[in-house]
Structure 1
Amino acid sequence: MEITIAAEHDADAIAELHTASWRRAYTDLFPAWYLNGPLLAERRRSWRGRLAEPVPGGALFLAVETGELLGFTYLEPKADGRVILDNLHARPGATGRGVGGRLLRHALGWTAQAHPGRDVYLEVLQGNTRAVAFYERHGGRRTASRVCHFEQGFALPEFEYTWPAGTPVADASF
């Protein structure tokens, strides 16, 4: 498995993987009309936009094996001095193979180099118990709990997990 930097032409593949991941993880959380309706089109618009006009200091990494996109992670510096790990997804069917762990370690290591001294945080829906367990196993500290309001008109409780600056990172290469 190789970790690479995404390019503009990767947007649709990222959107398709993102949609498949949400459909699997959020079946019992998101309304069916959203998961089975506008989700893919929204993800395509979002990733095409992010790759066409990248956020300064941000990064989008892909996990690729023999030409297949297995996962991705997106990081963006925020005005509060932290870096948000805004997405971390492994292709359904490729979970349990270390894709998420590799991407997370890579993201933490990259942040330590590109944005030294900044904490990394993410937001995860409380009902996504598999992801919550993954982040806790990988050293994330629960630092907040709140409600996430989706522009589509629904709201769900979420946790924030943080990896403080200086958190040891093993097996990361950039």
Structure 2
Amino acid sequence: MILIREMTPDDVDAVAKVRVRGWRTAYAGLVPQPYLDSMSVTEDARQRRAFLERGTGTMANWVAERGGEVVGWACFGPHQEPEGLPRGGELYAMYVLPEQRSTGIGRALMEVVVAEGHRRGLPWVRLWVLKENAPGRRFYERAGFRPDGHEESSDIGGTPVPEVRYELSLTRATP
């Protein structure tokens, strides 16, 4: 059974483990290996703890538990657009332990994200995904997201890594 609940400060270490292991698995061959090798669960937990402590109240973090263990995490909040354009939501991050992929964890987290977008009355939810991350892109497409034509490159470990933006219209989507 999968339990999705709000993240607490007590979850920070487990979330850092999920995030670092998720990066190392999902992005192997897509970002510089030295960058992945240098990722530290301890440092990620320190950063995540500081981020939670100064939280703005507009972000939502959820963890997925299976058998009492945190096996997934998602972070969602507002997407700021230039003045005058509609404001929606953004899925900032979603990771699942590698051995828990394709078990429904990501789907369960995505349902909570979409439901939160609906609860907030948002017109859409956007996210960025590495252009070459075919499994990630397939996952988001199965959840109803579509590329919206925007592309950028992020600098990861000194290497430009192309990303594409996806959008899910909440005026047509159901949680």
TM-score of the pair, normalised by structure 2: 0.89
Give the percent of matched residue pairs that are identical in Structure 1 and Structure 2.
Answer: 25
Distance 1:122 1:18 in 2: 16
Does the 8 A contact of 1:144 with 1:160 survive in 2? yes
Number of the residue aligned with 2:105 = 99
Give the corresponding residue for 2:59: 58
Stretches of structure 1 lacking an aligned partner (at least 5 in a row):
none
Q: Where in structure 2 are there 5+ consecutive unaligned residues?
A: 82-86
User: 1:126, 1:157 within 8 Å by CA — same for their partners in 2?
Assistant: yes
Within-5 A mapping of 1:2-81: 2-80=3-81, 81=87
Shift of 1:76: 1.4
Q: Which has the higher strand share?
A: 2
RMSD after superposition: 1.6
Q: Which runs of 4+ in 1 moved over 4 A?
A: none
- Aligned-residue offset at 1:33: 1.2
* Counterparts of 1:151 and 1:92, CA distance in 2: 21
Aligned length: 169
What secondary structure is seen at the aligned counterpart in 1 of 2:55? coil
Contact 1:119 1:165 in 2 (8 A): yes
Relative to structure 1, the CA distance from residue 70 to residue 167 in structure 2 (aligned partners, 3 Å threshold; closer, same or farther) is farther
Q: Is the contact between residue 2 and residue 65 of structure 1 (CA under 8 Å) also seen in structure 2? A: yes
Q: Distance in 1 between matches of 2:100 and 2:173?
A: 26
CA distance in 2, matches of 1:153, 1:40: 21
Query: Does structure 2 conserve the Cα–Cα contact (< 8 Å) formed by 1:145 and 1:157?
Result: no
The 1:93/1:38 distance shift into structure 2, 3 A limit, reads closer
Between the aligned partners of 1:5 and 1:70, the Cα distance in structure 2 is 13
Cα offset, 1:41, TM superposition: 4.7
Name the residue aligned to 2:84. none
Structure with greater contact order relative to length (CA < 8 Å, sep ≥ 6): 2
